[in-house]
Structure 1
Amino acid sequence: NDVGSCMLYYNGLPVLIDVGVGRYTRKTFSSERYSIWTMQSCYHNLPTINGYDQQNGEKFKAADVHFRDTKQSAYFTADIANAYATEANIKSWIRTYQLKRKKEFIISDSWSLNKTTGETVVNFMTACEIEEKDGSLFLKRDDVRIQIMYDKKLLSPTIETIKIDDSSLLSSWTNGVLYRIRFSIINLQQKGNCKISLRPINQ
């Protein structure tokens, strides 16, 4: 369940990640498959909308998908509303990515909801250490430092530490720790938008 998610690398280092698939077990191929956390959209770079995550099945898919690529930038947009259950009360949720090469990566969400019925959170997964300083977030890995820019009046972040003990995942994430950043939308309205950008900081 990862419709509309993204991965971001900087100088070959993973910044926003897809965690991957853990060690295969009986559960992986059973009706309990989507109870495994790595299979859930809230552990991808995607929103939880009105308390709902994406659903599994062929009918849960994106619409109105567009992509363009130039020397200066890359742009992707999709309406991911249909990847969620009807109970999420989503008319449309437009997820947009814009890469300004060597400068900035921008994640934008624009939504229209039938009503607001639960918590709405924009989730991000990272392998970077996270520093909170002067009301800002910084991702750090090796000699890379990236600032996360967001509207503090609209978004409130919390950070979760996820310890990895799965042998298959440890082969990729050798530090044994990943992090999930959850930006709660403050005072969610039926129509609105938010933007989060990541910019490399010169050391």
Structure 2
Amino acid sequence: MQAFTTLTAVAAPLRMNNVDTDMIIPKDYLKTIKRTGLGRGLFAEVSRKADGTPDPNFPLNQPAYQKAEILVAGDNFGCGSSREHAPWALLDRGIRCVISTSFADIFYQNCFKNGVLPVKVTPEELERLMNHADRGANATLTVDLPNQTIDGPDGDPIHFDIDAGLKHCLVNGLDEIALTLQKGVAVEQHERHLAEARPWV
């Protein structure tokens, strides 16, 4: 998993509340267990017109946000069904960080397992960041995970809280498997002990 330390990138505004996982990646794109290629389905049903062409009013379709790596979104982002394809699709599109006031718990945890940083801020801070993001290609934010800050053009950093364990894993690029493998020696010792104590198992 790709580590996350400090990211300076264009931020795209998504002024929508209750964006569920089906909106992030519609069910038609869930026929694969590959983590690549899902970016083409990201927000497919809300980012296109009835005829299937890109809707120019949708932020990620606009030229200014083509290279956006940060998404500033409305309340309750990632609600709905628990599909890991949602952070996969964001990551495949190049989104490394999502900022909102609140996230659905399963989506929030899935982000950390896949190298995407979800950041919770207050409603007032979110509005500030939305206003920054509205500036288009000049909407550059710096998200510093080790120091837990977001810096914008106004020079007034926003501090965010995060669980220490989740932070450690993301800063070091550790998913649950990699975290377990760090304890490889202890696991092997435990298995040897069990084999000696209960050879019949």
TM category, shorter: under 0.3
Which structure carries more helix by proportion?
2
What TM-score does the superposition give when structure 2 sets the normalisation length? 0.27
Structure number with larger C-alpha Rg: 2
**Larger relative contact order, structure 1 or 2 (CA cutoff 8 Å, min sep 6):** 2
Higher strand residue share? 1
